[in-house]
Structure 1
Amino acid sequence: MIRFLLKAIFLITLVGFILQEVDAYFIKDSFYRDSIRTFQSSDRNFDIVFFGSSHSYSTFNPAVIENELNVTAINLGSSAQKLIATQVVADMVLKKNRPDLAVINVFALSFNEEKNEGFTSSNLLAIDFLPQSFSKSSFILNTFPANEWPMAFSETIRNHTEWPESKKPSKTFNYNNDHNHYKGFLTSNSTFDDGTFLKFEKKYKAQNKRFDTLPDIAKKRIDDIADLFKNNNVPVLFINAPSYVYDVSPSHNSYAKSIKSYLTEKGHNFLEFNEVKEEIGITRRHYRNPNHLNTRGAILASTYLSAYIKDSLHIPLTKTPINLSGNPYYQSNPKNNSLFYKDLDSVTEKKLFGITDAKLYKTGEETYNVLFSLSADTIGSQPFRLEHEVTLEELNQYGEQKIFQNRNKTKIVYYGDFSNIDVLTYQNKSFVVFSFKSPLKQFRNLSFHAGDKRGTTVFSIDTLSVK
């Protein structure tokens, strides 16, 4: 009998190990993988950690928080993340990290645990990239029905029908060109049209159920996660991100008021952004859709939150020395060091619709920002290209990364277009940023061209070596 049990344990362990190795080929990739990887691989303690759904990762930009407060920050929000799943993410964080502050975004959908496909997929996304733990296993066993346990534990079992098309994802997530991202923060510069708003308004106006008190399940979820952080001596700030839903939906508005009432009753810190969004200056141009802020809106919200943490919470922050060289808002200061810097003369500035200087920064292992300061908060509409020479051997280093080449395959070329929608303003300075990805450690004849028909050379560098 003992021998049989030992064989069974060995077999189960072996199968589990094999599935864990193979699972990497069957995951449904998400930028959230990068968020968890950034957290897990860091040898630094994160001073402020954000939790929640897309409302969190579209609103609270660690780059702004770091630059404003001189702290390390990360956003661990995932799409439609429920508070019951946030508990598992928080448990992972607290096993490795004791932040000075946890910021948790909560709103009606944080507590929607109706058993449907959306609930299942959001929970799987929230836990798939987390390391195996007792908390994660308990969550699966208590949240999913028994017949779904195998697929919840293993992406291979869940997505095996996609073989042989499935393949292991790239080392880092492949972001779209219009994505602005930094340590778990993700949004774009886009805005929405009248048609989009009318559909949004019609959908949410129809939801007319009112909430005089918070449902018991919501109270329990709040109490559970508050206790988890309290037991680990970590202060919590609950927060509700800006959204047009509170302007059009009596149901969501009453639910938000119920959340505020319960958190206040329990003595928790709570910031309702929808009560101060006009004071902050958040308008329609600061949303990528009626439910989520764009990059400009996130700058305003994150700057306000930084001041609120500093002036109202009175929480001691570690403020250990940090490297901000990859932070685009730190980069916007012309006094800060860059790989390359060039002041433009007045003639070139006029040709480029107000670009006054160009700076090149390394922002990650294989990522770079070219940041252009502007004389005003407009840039017109102009195409651009960045290019550099490559050998065949260097070309092979790009692997499956999508790239453009000249006809002779002697250059790699990145194309794009700047418009007024790309202009960001921070600390009264306006700028635009172009980001690109390259595995190379040395660039030859690196040049940037913009303006009419990409005819103006902004800068040209013979050789640039990077670490």
Structure 2
Amino acid sequence: MVIGLLSYLDGLFYKDGLFRDTLNNYEASNKDFDLVFIGNSHSHSSFDPRVFELQLGAKTFNLAAPAQRLVTTQVVADMLLKETKPDLAVLNIFSLSLNETNNDAYKAFQLGTLDFLPHSVAKSKTIFKMFPFHEWPTAFSETLRYHYNWDNTSSFTAPYNYNLRYDVYKGFATYKTTYDSVAFKKFQKKYDKRDAEVKKLSSLQKQRIDAIIALFDKNNVPLLFVNAPDEAYHISTNFRTYAECITAYLKSKNQTILDLNLFKDTLGLEKEHYRDPNHLNTRGALLVSQFLADYVQSNYEIGKSISEEELHKNRYYLMKHGFPKTITSTNHTKDSELFTLGFRNTHLYYTDRNRIELAIEVDKETFSNTKMLLQYGFRDNKPGEEKFKTWITLDPANVLTYNNKHYAIVTLFPTKEELYDLELRLRSSSNQVVLTHDYLKL
């Protein structure tokens, strides 16, 4: 009875994180994916399912989580392979994947994945190994760990509180923005010190790699290892030689690894393609995903089970085909203030799982920083109650180029299923309306 009560309460007491939303999205699907990405933040920031859906026709999901080590990825993979057998799994691996410094920060990051996974033998074994005996109760129970947080409980399935910088789709999650010189100086200072050459992997690190290979072999699912682009590769001897040791070991095990850091120039990656020096942003993920999709198409047999209905929620499909199906679209005429500011068309459309998105086509030559007000109400708004409002600044530096057109992207993350009187307008003396829509049901 006590265990049952704790299991119930664990769905209310938890420390929130991206992986909760990813797993809810995964659980809401029918899980018959052709292609699945697993691993850490390099994976969920780099590999955009939209690109693989469009280029390969493959039903795709990104099941990665921040700061996830390979020992924890093993538990995710165990869950995945019990429920589905994709045509290909892609696992991002680099030095952090194998770093098991057993301190509180490391354990907290791993619980950020493990907390949201269903109970399993693999999960239990991992917790037993990761935590000393006296920490087992709190490691297994979020309620025991966060019981003091009574005034901040919420359902496991509650919407995740993304900020508007995020670009999210089927587990893929990164920022649309790029970093500044201050962030780069901090990064450079951190990685300049990491100059110790790595000459070989430890026996434990090899065991972790062997275990994940064996799991996929047992389930007859092809596994492709990749190493996503990271600026640290080019300034840190430690980071680069670690990657080289991982590559050498995987090749000795007859595994395929694609180190995308070696293709930086081919990909044309610049500062503008990173949200921070370690992670790609939307624009960088687009380039890398297109490259990887071509590689997968040339080297693997992948199913093509993505449906037309799902593609109509795919930003790049809509852009490629001229937005054939949207909630509403507005053309900004030459006599309008918006046209003068560089606005050409605005499209509102559904994207994955209770999200909507605005793609504002702009003329890159005349478009400049533009402040806007976005607001909408909910069905249960009381008379006179304020609508949801947020100020948005559209920055030319964050414009996305696709199919020779340029777009400012705004992703909305409503917390309720029905929206009323959605309105986007300029924050200027004219308050000109960019787009309106009376009613939306997510």
Q: What TM-score bracket applies, with the shorter chain setting the length?
A: over 0.9
| Paired residue type of 1:448 | L
Partner of 2:174: 187
8 A Cα contact 2:343 2:362, kept in partner = yes
Matched, 1:266 2:264: no
Partner of 1:225: 212
Helix, strand or coil for the counterpart of 2:336?
helix
Helix, strand or coil for the counterpart of 1:210?
coil
Partner of 2:190: 203
Pairwise CA RMSD: 2.3
Partner of 1:399: none
8 A Cα contact 1:47 1:100, kept in partner = yes
In the aligned structure 2, how far is the partner of 1:260 from the partner of 1:27? 37
In the aligned structure 2, how far is the partner of 1:189 from the partner of 1:411? 26
8 A Cα contact 1:383 1:454, kept in partner = no
In the aligned structure 1, how far is the partner of 2:3 from the partner of 2:301? 43
User: Residues 268-299 of structure 1: CA distance to partner in whole angstroms, max 9, x if unpaired?
Assistant: 11111110011101111111111111111111
Partner of 1:375: 363
Equivalence map 1:109-148=2 (5 Å): 109-148=96-135
**Which of 425, 428, 440 in structure 2 is aligned with 1:449?**
425
Q: Which runs of 5+ in 1 are unaligned?
A: 1-13, 397-404
How far residue 315 of structure 1 moved from its aligned partner, in angstroms, is 2.5
**Which of 327, 337, 356 in structure 1 is aligned with 2:325?**
337
How far residue 466 of structure 1 moved from its aligned partner, in angstroms, is 4.1
How far residue 83 of structure 1 moved from its aligned partner, in angstroms, is 0.4
In the aligned structure 2, how far is the partner of 1:378 from the partner of 1:281? 25
In the aligned structure 2, how far is the partner of 1:288 from the partner of 1:331? 24
8 A Cα contact 2:250 2:256, kept in partner = yes
Matched, 1:94 2:70: no
Query: Quick one: percent identity of the two aligned structures?
Result: 34
8 A Cα contact 2:340 2:366, kept in partner = no
In the aligned structure 2, how far is the partner of 1:138 from the partner of 1:308? 36
Partner of 2:393: 417
More moved, 376-385 vs 198-207: 376-385
Partner of 2:154: 168
How far residue 304 of structure 1 moved from its aligned partner, in angstroms, is 1.1
In the aligned structure 2, how far is the partner of 1:79 from the partner of 1:271? 21
8 A Cα contact 1:371 1:431, kept in partner = yes
| Paired residue type of 1:354 | G
Q: 1:443 to 1:163 in 2, by over 3 A?
A: closer
| Paired residue type of 2:420 | F
8 A Cα contact 2:319 2:403, kept in partner = no
| Paired residue type of 2:96 | L
How far residue 200 of structure 1 moved from its aligned partner, in angstroms, is 1.7
Matched, 1:23 2:39: no
How far residue 195 of structure 1 moved from its aligned partner, in angstroms, is 2.9
Partner of 1:245: 232
How many residues are treated as equivalent by the alignment?
A: 438
**Which of 270, 281, 289 in structure 1 is aligned with 2:268?**
281
How far residue 45 of structure 1 moved from its aligned partner, in angstroms, is 0.6
Matched, 1:435 2:401: no
| Paired residue type of 2:191 | Y
In the aligned structure 2, how far is the partner of 1:442 from the partner of 1:200? 41
In the aligned structure 2, how far is the partner of 1:129 from the partner of 1:188? 23
8 A Cα contact 1:179 1:186, kept in partner = yes
| Paired residue type of 2:188 | E
Partner of 1:9: none
Q: 1:275 to 1:349 in 2, by over 3 A?
A: farther
**Which of 7, 13, 29 in structure 2 is aligned with 1:42?**
29
Helix, strand or coil for the counterpart of 1:357?
strand
Q: What is the TM-score normalised by the length of structure 1?
A: 0.88
Helix, strand or coil for the counterpart of 1:109?
helix
Partner of 2:435: 459
Q: What is the TM-score normalised by the length of structure 2?
A: 0.92
In the aligned structure 2, how far is the partner of 1:199 from the partner of 1:43? 43
Moved over 6 A (4+): none
Whose Rg is larger?
A: 1
User: Residues 358-407 of structure 1: CA distance to partner in whole angstroms, max 9, x if unpaired?
Assistant: 111122454211211223377311111234566xx6316xxxxxxxx9xx
In the aligned structure 2, how far is the partner of 1:76 from the partner of 1:164? 30
In the aligned structure 2, how far is the partner of 1:345 from the partner of 1:352? 9
Q: Which runs of 5+ in 2 are unaligned?
A: none
Q: 1:442 to 1:138 in 2, by over 3 A?
A: closer
User: Residues 80-131 of structure 1: CA distance to partner in whole angstroms, max 9, x if unpaired?
Assistant: 1110110000000011111111111111111111211122112211211001
